[in-house]
Structure 1
Amino acid sequence: MKMPVTERLGLHIKRVEQELMAAKHAALRPFGLTVPQYAVLYALDDQPGLSAAALARACLVTPQTIATVLANLEAKELITRRPHPWHRRVIEVTLTDEGRSLLARADAEAVAVERRIADGFSAEERALLIDLLARASAQLTAAPQPAPER
């Protein structure tokens, strides 16, 4: 049986995700940042010294994308990359002072976008939405169940 479009949760989630990314892109454009670049700066502010692989996982992007993002951020002198002191094959990535300063200004605008979403809900509704999204995520990451036999 075909599922009506209005009941397809994935379409609703995807639409909101695209609208969120468009709003963040517009908010970050004056700072010369893309959403993935902002995500990397944000992750590095929280956890300095992450490797490219760890950043790709934290920012939910591919290794190829993270390589491009890091090259662009390094060219803008917003990050530095250097070998880990003990594990020479691991390259640590850290924010420069300029990167930290730009992140602080850009984050204020990104937070404003997040607040626009939050302002549409009561505190209880926000907590419920977070819980429902976590449950949706758990359903997708759980081991798939065999389809019922017909």
Structure 2
Amino acid sequence: MSEAKRPDLAAMLAPLGRALVAAELPVLERNGLTMWGYVVLLGLGDEPVYTQSALAKAIRADKTRIIGVLDELQRRGLIHRAPDPADRRAHLVSLTPDGRTTRERAQREIQEQEDQLLTHLSAADRRVFLRALQTLAALTAEQ
């Protein structure tokens, strides 16, 4: 007897991804962020500084396309950009305290919504699901 066919991963993940993005948008709006702005703030992580080029690579964005996002985040005081003393053609990007606070608040609110969805899984299934997603996300980040 053959194993039951399962849907393709994209067929299962796409509707979930759309639902998660739809749930995130009001949170981001309340925090004055666009999706790309949030991605940039998350991409900066806890590192003290990134070059714009390294940040773009880390978040898988075209370095010229994120300039407008960086301009807006800097205008709002969420990031700081300065010429790299080692290479005046490059700019260093870092989170400001307000940027860190905004990122943490938005992420907390988003994860609270995700936790509501995850309550539909048992605690054991939740741990396995999150560990599997982290593993797959790390693999795709290396590509």
TM-score, reference length from structure 1:
0.72
Stretches of structure 2 that go unaligned for 5 or more consecutive residues are: 1-5
Q: Is 1:63 matched with 2:63?
A: yes
Greater per-residue strand proportion: 2
CA distance in 2, matches of 1:103, 1:9: 30
Q: Following superposition of structure 1 onto structure 2, how do residues 1-150 of structure 1 map, counting pairs within 5 Å?
A: 7-133=7-133
In structure 2, do the counterparts of structure 1 residues 131 and 88 end up closer, same or farther at CA, with 3 Å as the change threshold? same
Structure 1: which 5+ residue stretches go unaligned?
A: 1-5, 142-150
Q: Judging changes above 3 Å, is the alpha-carbon distance between structure 1 residues 85 and 113 closer, same or farther for their aligned structure 2 residues? A: farther
Distance change in 2, residues 1:120/1:15 (3 Å): same
Q: What is the alpha-carbon distance in structure 2 between the residues aligned to residue 102 and residue 136 of structure 1?
A: 27
Q: Which amino acid aligns with 1:79?
A: I
RMSD: 3.1
Q: Any idea what the Cα deviations from partners look like across 1:44-74, whole Å, max 9, x if unmatched?
A: 2422311222222332333343222112111
Answer 1 or 2: which has greater helix percent. Answer: 1
Q: CA deviation at 1:35?
A: 2.1
More displaced stretch, 19-28 vs 101-110: 101-110
| TM-score (normalizing by structure 2) | 0.75
Q: Amino acid of the residue matched to residue 9 of structure 1?
A: L
